[in-house]
Structure 1
């Protein structure tokens, strides 16, 4: 494939955005099909004539939009997501729990389910620590959180005491997907709502500086105590002007 144009294209888009857009086009066109492995970072660097940092950022953006998923020890795999699903990017901060009281209802080691294993990029059945937490303020439940981390032999349990060298990898960023669901009996009990009521659910993967998943959380939000707002702006290459007035003339 001729990629020379990507390096010299006259556009306001950054280099990583151009690489990401080209890879996305190749995925949507079927050159890379669901289940296919993308070329390695080294191969993509050679193909596009860019640095590893540029390729890594482009692929991370595709992963954040669920076009690809990264499997540790395997590579980057094209997902089977629906191509017509709209994805909106939201930016923000995590760990907004300092204003809330948290109560722990469960803290056990259990085999990773298929969903948890996929999120943490481990084999199903791998031991993970599962904590069930409810965040509340003034006695009112706001969020029910299932938190999963890989259980490592000899390491203190999450929330345990230990020196800084035993705290584990530093969390650099997180990727989150929001969806709508219905509250099951357990969720309804902890949030104080009726079973079957619609709620928002957030699946979040925390990543280290080298993009390794280190924590997976599933948060269910009380429908009356949360509201999500989005600041929408035009895309970088799609400037929009609103006409200042009508330019048409009414016939006499």
Structure 2
């Protein structure tokens, strides 16, 4: 079998794994840039069809083959039967249900793999930090961007220059006048990137931050709008 065909088979096999953990992304798949994530489910009201299938792979294939389908979820019951919900709404248009045993399948045409090995997706409109966090949390395996390594310093600027000349939200919180913490609990001062970033401090006792023009800007959580970007780690890299 040609090498290209073997690579394609490996991609399709990865995407079809029913017991996938976390998030998988196959940007080079013949079926388009498909993502497969655990723990989210299409709400019944958003499904135009619910079918019994043999596995997650069949659910993905059913969605891909139907022009109406933008996303699907597969849930295996105690009797090992798999229920497949097909939806015309993608993850940006549907409030997904938390379901630990469900697998959610969706397509992200505009997702980009950056040089830090992480995947980034930008919404096409400005929104508050709270709105951005809610939307990123709705995407399986996604979060508001967190940057820690020296290599990610370039990625921060690449994202900024790739869109409107406007700052975008990052998940850095000011928890006191002197304490800054990334969204995963890592202290800002404990990261290698902290010495490379300009932090413009303000008068707010607690705040969130956006990044632009090589500076972290202090902002209120709900009353200010910036670009909204989500970050994901489907390849298991450092983040």
Class of the TM-score when normalised by the shorter of the 2 chains: under 0.3
With a CA cutoff of 8 Å and minimum separation of 6, indicate the structure with the bigger relative contact order. Answer: 2
Q: TM-score, normalised by structure 2?
A: 0.28
* Structure with greater strand percent: 2
